[in-house]
Structure 1
Amino acid sequence: MADITAASVKELRERTGAGMMDCKKALTENGGEMEASVDWLRTKGLAAAAKKAGRTAAEVLVGVAVAGTKGAVVEINSETDFVAKNEQFQSFVRDVAQLALTTAGDVEALKAAAYPSGGTVADKLTENIATIGENQSLRRTRVLEVPQGAIVSYVHNAAAPNMGKIGVLVALESAAPADVLTALGKQIAMHIAAANPLALDDSGLDADLMAREKAIAMEKATESGKPANIIEKMVQGTMAKFRKESALLSQLFVIDGKTPIADVVAAAAKDAGSPIVLKAYERFQLGEGIEKATSDFAAEVAATAGIKKPDPVS
């Protein structure tokens, strides 16, 4: 049987909101596997849906840049959040976001791009590591473009103009006036930052994710003991709700809590007297998907002093 540590119980509690004993039981039942334990708790009705991003771990900044009908977003990581306040680093993020507009969302092409002060982006990154004293990396970039309309950006928890913890781009294709598109795009971008949709519409939802959600819904419905035909309807209803809440166009607008985003766009188009199509979006949250290595300071001190480490929770 796998050792169940206090740290793993704590992590599972943070991810699911379930009680300590329930988390311990889930880990025990699933051999210590974190994702399987999350699913187990959800099938028992003991946990909320797992967070898309998991534990946000990496530090520093997401930067955005817009030029005409093209926009770019970049994520640049470092070891600590202190670097985000460094003017040299902020200047680097600003420059890289602008250069990203020319690289079609390709990280390697962006690293190889000529940096304004000389050398390449990769060279400047190496210089920053040496002068600032922390390891850094250019993790990812995306570019959105429309033939006509607007790319609107929004940064949440801004550390400086156009850079912060969450960066969003919204692509609106339309012949409507620029001020109309900018206002609409800003509202939608703020919604995206808050609601964290998984896809533009339900056809874009990840197939593996949908299969996992369906398996959880089926197990929960089966435990109700109802007839097979009722169970199938329960599963269909659960999945329909998940698709609606996960796809941007069907999500309810966070500003009023009742209007689907698709209807918000349609109403704006009607007022503008011109069709507006929400073509795409990008949402970068700093460090999403990265698991940060953590150290147990007390354990390190104990080990140095030759004190036996406490036994794991069993």
Structure 2
Amino acid sequence: MAEITAAAVKELRERSGAGMMDCKKALSENGGDMEAAVDWLRTKGLAAAAKKSSRTAAEGLVGVAVAGTKGAAVEVNSETDFVAKNDQFQAFVREVTQVALSVGDDVEAIKTAAMPSGTTVGDVLTHNIATIGENQSIRRAKRLEVAQGAIVPYVHNAASAGLGKIGVLVALESDAGADVLEPLGKQIAMHIAAAFPLALDENGLDQDVLERERQIATEKAAESGKPAEIIAKMVDGSVKKFAKENALLSQLFVMDNKTPIADVVAKAGKDAGTTIVLKDYVRFQLGEGIEKEESDFAAEVAATAGISK
């Protein structure tokens, strides 16, 4: 049997877009013959992944998982919502979320990490693209950790355990018990899912976003025809209002629409006789910020059939 080198496997991966283990098997099955291995992958439907990589993947699932005082959220995209209901895809998202618990936020590091099967995440992803037949991608990940306390997960309209289209993690640092932190974290997580804060506090808001709001407020105030010093105060007031409404700690709790989240946390700590700190949060909404391609189904069918419209 011909020796299968790492260089040959790498070359076949680059040519076919198939996973590492599939490439190694293809070369083994074909005595190391590169062209025969390419054809073998094509006949198995495993060389199609690279061609699918240019298609927009804006559907999929968000996964959340917690282990002890660590939690992770991951967004894995697919082209259609149909794939998000696929058992193979759901299992992959769950396993990738578990990997993120150990590896952290870096997507490239996640891709090179090993799955429970021993195969890397990246290779399983490539294999899934080929076998499921749609482009898929690991878009982003975030891990939270507290020294003491709880990471509380929440999935809005869960498709399955720990999987859905909006995933939230809340990091509460405290020596309070789970009987206090879990329900508090759940309520705050539900608020986050509904209210979509842009940062934990006002200092964390993106300066570019604030500057854009300032420009908008300036244009609106200028239309009032009031003196410059009045316009300046109006603009400052508008920007401060925006910051207050979009920072989590100063947002009004959706449950009563009058209590700032910071006060909700403080009261829970006072009632428990200890300090509770809302340290951080994650809110991943599936596909946010991705520009979806508009498709003309009739045109696609006509193109496939070689018919011009």
Bigger shift: 295-304 or 235-244?
Answer: 295-304
Q: CA deviation at 1:306?
A: 5.5
Q: How far apart in 1 are the matches of 2:240 and 2:259?
A: 17
Verify the 8 A CA contact 2:65 2:153 in the aligned structure 1. yes
Query: Paired residue for 1:25?
Result: none
Q: Which amino acid aligns with 2:73?
A: V
Cα-to-partner distance string for 1:155-191 (whole Å, 9 max, x where unaligned):
0121100000001111000001112101100100010
Taking a change above 3 Å as real, the CA distance of residues 117 and 60 of structure 1, as seen in their structure-2 partners, is same
Query: Paired residue for 2:105?
Result: 105
Q: CA deviation at 1:296?
A: 3.4
Query: Paired residue for 2:186?
Result: 186
Verify the 8 A CA contact 2:63 2:167 in the aligned structure 1. yes
After TM superposition, where is structure 1 displaced by more than 4 Å over at least 4 residues in a row?
Answer: 297-307
Query: How do 1:28-39 residues align onto structure 2 when only pairs under 5 Å count?
Result: none
Q: How far apart in 2 are the matches of 1:173 and 1:301?
A: 55
- Taking only the aligned residue pairs, the percentage that are identical comes to 74
CA RMSD of aligned residues (A): 1.8
Q: How far apart in 2 are the matches of 1:251 and 1:63?
A: 26
Counterpart check, 1:205 vs 2:205: yes
Classify the secondary structure of the residue corresponding to 1:160.
Answer: coil
Taking a change above 3 Å as real, the CA distance of residues 86 and 147 of structure 1, as seen in their structure-2 partners, is same
Verify the 8 A CA contact 2:57 2:135 in the aligned structure 1. no
Query: How do 1:240-255 residues align onto structure 2 when only pairs under 5 Å count?
Result: 240-255=240-255
Cα-to-partner distance string for 1:228-252 (whole Å, 9 max, x where unaligned):
1211121121111101101000000
Taking a change above 3 Å as real, the CA distance of residues 130 and 297 of structure 1, as seen in their structure-2 partners, is closer
Aligned length: 252
Cα-to-partner distance string for 1:202-253 (whole Å, 9 max, x where unaligned):
0011111111100110111011001112111211211111011010000000
Gaps of 5+ in 2: 1-55
If the length of structure 2 is used for normalisation, what is the TM-score?
0.78
Query: Paired residue for 2:292?
Result: 292
Classify the secondary structure of the residue corresponding to 2:102.
Answer: coil
Q: Which amino acid aligns with 1:228?
A: A
Verify the 8 A CA contact 1:57 1:288 in the aligned structure 2. no
Query: How do 1:17-36 residues align onto structure 2 when only pairs under 5 Å count?
Result: none
* Structure whose CA Rg is larger: 2
Q: Which amino acid aligns with 1:124?
A: V
Query: How do 1:1-314 residues align onto structure 2 when only pairs under 5 Å count?
Result: 58-297=58-297
Gaps of 5+ in 1: 1-55, 308-314
Query: Paired residue for 1:23?
Result: none
Q: Which has the higher contact order (CA 8 A, sep 6+)?
A: 1
Q: How far apart in 2 are the matches of 1:305 and 1:125?
A: 34
